[in-house]
Amino acid sequence: MTTGFFWDETCFWHGGGNYAGMLPVGGLVQPLDGGLPESPESKRRLCNLISVTGLAGDLAMRGAPPATQDDLLRVHPKSYLDEFKRLSDAGGGELGRRTPFGPGGYEIAAQSAGLAKAALSAVLSGDLTNAYALSRPPGHHCLPDWPNGFCLLANIAIAIEAAREAGQAKRFAVLDWDVHHGNGTEAIFYDRGDVFTVSLHQDRNYPMDTGAFADRGRGAGEGYNLNIPLPAGTGHAGYLAAMERIALPAIRAYAPDVLIIACGYDAAANDPLGRMLAHQDTFQAMSQQVMALADDVCDGKLVMVHEGGYSEVYVPFCGHAVLAQMSGSKITAPDPFGEVFHLRQPDDAFDAYLDTHLSALAQALG
C-alpha cells in the first residue's frame, strides 16, 4: 500500500495579497499588520510537520508538472486564461472576488492544478493506492470564467477532465468537506451525470447564496449534485453522522470509479473562516469513512485535494492525521488542542436539533 503526497514549493510562493476586501478596513477599523487568512503557512507547516515526525518517510513524496494549457482549456475559457496570464505577467492583479495574485500567479495556479491531476492519474493507473495533493491556490470555489474565494483554477475539475481525456475513468464522485460550499465544482458539473458532486458545508457561510439542499443538478445532471448544509456549531459527532447518514450512502449508490475529496480543514474549532467544532479526530474519522467506502465501491481509489483551512497552527495536525490514516502509518502527531476541543462540543439540545435536520434531509432523499 503506497500513499502519494504531491507538493511543490512554488505553491507556497503564491502571493495572495492581504485580502483587504475581507475586512471593512478604513474608518475606525485599523488595518491589520500582516497577511490575512490565505497564507502559505498552514500548507508549508503541514509539510514541515510530516518531515519532523517522520511520516513523510511512510509516503511517496512526489512532484508533478504543471497542468498544460490543454488541461486548463477543458474547464476554463481561453478568454479567462488569457486575461489571467496577461495580468500575471504584468505583476499580478485581481480578476474576481477575493482572489488577488502576484507576479507568476498564473504559473503557480497551473502548478497547483498539476498536482491534483498527477495525484488522480497515479491512483487511477494503479501506481499508487491513494494520494494527497497539497494544492495551493485552492480550487473548489472557482467557476470556469470567474475566480472567487482564493480559488483561481478549478483544480479538481481540471484533474477529472484530464483523467477522462486519458480514458482512465468514466464516473467520478467528489465529496467536499471544506467548511465552505464547493460552488465551483458544483457549477462546472451541474448539468452532468458523470460527476457526482457532494458538499458538506456550514449553511450560508461562503458563498452566502449557494449550497442549498434543493440544488440537485439540472438536465442530465438532475440528481447528481447533493448539498448538505449544516448549522454553525456542528461538531465531531454531527459531521460523522452527516457523512454516515447522507453523504456516504449517496456516493455508495452512485458507485463511482474513483472518490475525490475536496479536503479543507476550516471546519476545525479554531478556524478563523468557519464556525464549526471539528477537530483532529474528526478529520481522521472522516478519512477512515471514505477509505472504507472507496474500498467497497472503487477498489480503494481515493484522492484528496487540499482546499481551505486557515489556522496555521492547527491545519498541520489535522492533515497529519489524514495522511497517517490514508497510509496506515503508525506515526502520530498528537493534537495540541485535543483536550479543549473534545470538551468544546455541542450540547444535547443541539444534537437533537441536528438529528431532526439530518432526518429531514435523509427522508427528502428517500
The least distance separating Zn ion from the CB of residue 308, rounded to whole angstroms, comes to 3
Of 214-222, 227-235, 281-289, 308-316, which segment contacts Zn ion by CB under 5 A?
308-316
The least distance separating Zn ion from the CB of residue 355, rounded to whole angstroms, comes to 25
The least distance separating Zn ion from the CB of residue 282, rounded to whole angstroms, comes to 15
> Is residue 180 within the footprint of Zn ion (CB under 5 A)?
yes
Q: Which is nearer to Zn ion, 5 or 150 (CB)?
A: 150
Footprint of Zn ion on 246-275 (CB under 5 A): 264, 266
Q: Which is nearer to Zn ion, 162 or 276 (CB)?
A: 276
> Between 136 and 175, how does the x/- string for binding to Zn ion read (CB under 5 A)?
----------------------------------------
Q: Which is nearer to Zn ion, 148 or 225 (CB)?
A: 148
Cell 474549532 -> residue? 269
Per CB under 5 A, the list member of 308, 316, 319, 346 interacting with Zn ion is 308
DSSP string, 293-330: HHHHHHTT-EEEEE-----TTTHHHHHHHHHHHHHT--
Picking from 3, 6, 33, the residue whose alpha carbon sits closest to that of residue 20 is 33
Helix, strand, or coil (residue 162): helix
Q: Which is nearer to Zn ion, 202 or 329 (CB)?
A: 202
Strand order across the beta sheet in which 195-202 lies: 60-62, 3-6, 130-133, 302-306, 258-263, 172-176, 195-202, 225-230
> Is residue 178 within the footprint of Zn ion (CB under 5 A)?
yes
C-alpha 134/C-alpha 36 separation (Å) is 20
The least distance separating Zn ion from the CB of residue 114, rounded to whole angstroms, comes to 21
User: Is 141 among the catalytic positions?
Assistant: yes
Decide: 99 and 151 in contact? Cβ < 8 Å: yes
The least distance separating Zn ion from the CB of residue 54, rounded to whole angstroms, comes to 29
Decide: 67 and 158 in contact? Cβ < 8 Å: yes
Helix, strand, or coil (residue 193): coil
Residue nearest to Zn ion (CB): 308
Q: Calculate the CA 293 to chain-centre distance.
A: 18
Picking from 82, 193, 206, the residue whose alpha carbon sits closest to that of residue 141 is 206
Q: Is 262 left (phi over 0), alpha (psi -120 to 50) or beta?
A: beta
- Catalytic one of 14, 141, 181, 306: 141
Q: Which is nearer to Zn ion, 8 or 266 (CB)?
A: 266
Give catalytic residues, as residue numbers: 141
Which residues of this chain interact with Zn ion, rule CB under 5 A? 178, 180, 264, 266, 308
